[in-house]
């Protein structure tokens, strides 16, 4: 297990902000996971678990504890029969590599989530999703290290409490309790079926596409995302910065009355694209305190020259305020904040007898 001291969080996260973390530990095996949490407990330090840093925002004061990076690698086909594939990947695998593996074998279920940045272990934590798919639709189980008991456990989908960007892993009393070792999904042979998400349907219409195989959906989604979203390896950004806004039927009716486009669910409720709201407020391309709203996708904030978390916070509040004033809707930030809490994971963990 690799141990580093006083590592800048700005170098671990794609938004490239944040002071130093006291320790950074890289976990490459299940034994490393046990040792990493024991390391934190013995020193009485809080823990922050992280994959690729695409959904984490660092603060200027840094993190006074142990950042545990998931570097577990490997992908295996558990079973392949009757048009289905059970696929298992380790938590440190790059998410998009996992998607590519499935698509190249003709299996559908995660292809619309191509080139989402981050690791496989982070996918169920946030219940990532794009273009009408989310990981909750495909996931079967996760293997995780339970920091409360010091044991490895397997959790089924029905134990994860998954909804839009919320799960047992990031919400409530179990937030931060589980270090995800591996993820297992069930995929099916065949093509993605309509109705397609608006931007994907637009691409299909413009290019006359009729091939909806996993491999071709992946190609289309990758082209759409590459055009709109900056590569976090090259441009400092946390990807989609605001969650889409979900409204009940009354809220959806009110939104349509205001001329706000939305995706309707069967029960009449709806989902509003937050990027549309930001753009409608005239903020697309605007720079604020070194943070710029992308001129390609208003849902994305780019760190051009900001040096502090305060700069990002000021830009965020200006955007949230503008949307609230114009539409009466409240935007919710998607990336999580790296802060230390009392009674955090390392202090919960019991010594194994």
The residues that are catalytic are 165, 240, 334
Instruction: Provide the token pair at 123.
Output: 């996918």
> Cα(55)–Cα(336) distance, rounded to whole angstroms?
6
Q: For residue 239, what is the DSSP state? A: E
Asked if the peptide bond before residue 195 counts as cis, ω within 30 degrees of 0, the response is: yes
Token reading at 10: 């700005």
The answer to whether residues 107 and 188 touch, using CB atoms and an 8 Å cutoff, is yes
Q: How far is CA 344 from the centre of its chain?
A: 21
Q: Is 26 helix (H, G, I), strand (E, B) or coil?
A: strand
CA 346 – CA 157 distance, rounded (Å) = 25
Q: Which residues pair with 163 in a beta bridge?
A: 166
Which residues, at least 6 apart from 315, have a Cβ–Cβ distance to it below 8 Å?
288, 289, 291, 301, 306
Closest residue by Cα to residue 49 from 21, 15, 83, 20: 21
Cα 105 to Cα 97, 101, 118, 167, distances in angstroms: 13, 7, 22, 29
The set of residues, in sequence order, having a beta carbon less than 8 Å from that of 140 and lying 6+ positions away, is 86, 156, 157, 184, 185, 186
How far is residue 26's CA from residue 193's CA, in Å, rounded to a whole number?
40
- Lookup result for tokens 């790059």: 94
3-state secondary structure 166-223: ECCCCCHHHCCCEEEEEEEEEEEECCCCCCCCHHHHHHHHHHCCCCCCHHHHHHHHHH
Given a contact cutoff of 8 angstroms between Cβ atoms, the answer to whether 349 and 69 are in contact is no
């Amino acid at each position: 297990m690799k141990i580093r001291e006083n590592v800048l969080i700005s170098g671990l996260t794609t938004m490239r902000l944040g002071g130093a973390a006291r320790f950074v530990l890289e976990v490459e095996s299940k034994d490393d996971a046990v040792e990493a949490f024991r390391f934190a407990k013995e020193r009485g330090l809080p823990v922050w678990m992280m994959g690729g840093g695409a959904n984490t925002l660092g603060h200027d004061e840094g993190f006074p504890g142990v950042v545990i990076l998931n570097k577990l690698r490997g992908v295996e086909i558990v079973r392949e029969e009757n048009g289905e594939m059970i696929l298992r990947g380790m938590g440190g695998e790059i998410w998009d590599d996992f998607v590519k593996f499935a698509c190249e074998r003709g299996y559908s279920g995660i292809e619309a989530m191509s080139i989402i940045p981050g690791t496989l272990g982070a996918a169920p934590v946030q219940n990532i999703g794009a273009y009408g798919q989310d990981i909750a639709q495909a996931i079967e189980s996760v293997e995780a290290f339970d920091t409360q008991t010091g044991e490895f456990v397997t959790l089924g989908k029905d134990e994860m409490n998954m909804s839009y960007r919320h799960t047992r892993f990031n919400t409530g009393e179990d937030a931060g309790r589980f270090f995800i070792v591996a993820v297992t999904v069930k995929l099916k042979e065949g093509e993605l079926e309509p109705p397609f998400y608006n931007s994907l349907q637009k691409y299909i219409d413009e290019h006359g596409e009729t091939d909806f195989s996993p491999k071709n959906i992946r190609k289309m989604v990758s082209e759409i995302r590459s055009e709109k979203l900056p590569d976090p390896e090259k441009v400092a950004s946390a990807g989609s910065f605001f969650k889409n806004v979900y409204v009940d039927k009354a809220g959806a009716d009110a939104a349509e009355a205001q001329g706000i486009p939305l995706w309707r669910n069967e029960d009449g409720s709806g989902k509003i694209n937050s990027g549309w709201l930001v753009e409608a407020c005239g903020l697309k391309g605007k720079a604020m305190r070194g943070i710029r709203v992308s001129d390609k996708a208003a849902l994305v904030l780019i760190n051009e020259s900001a040096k502090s978390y305060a700069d990002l916070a000021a830009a965020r509040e200006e955007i949230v305020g503008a949307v609230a004033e114009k539409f009466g809707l409240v935007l919710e930030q998607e990336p999580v904040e790296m802060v230390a809490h009392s009674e955090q994971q390392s202090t919960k963990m019991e010594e194994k007898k």
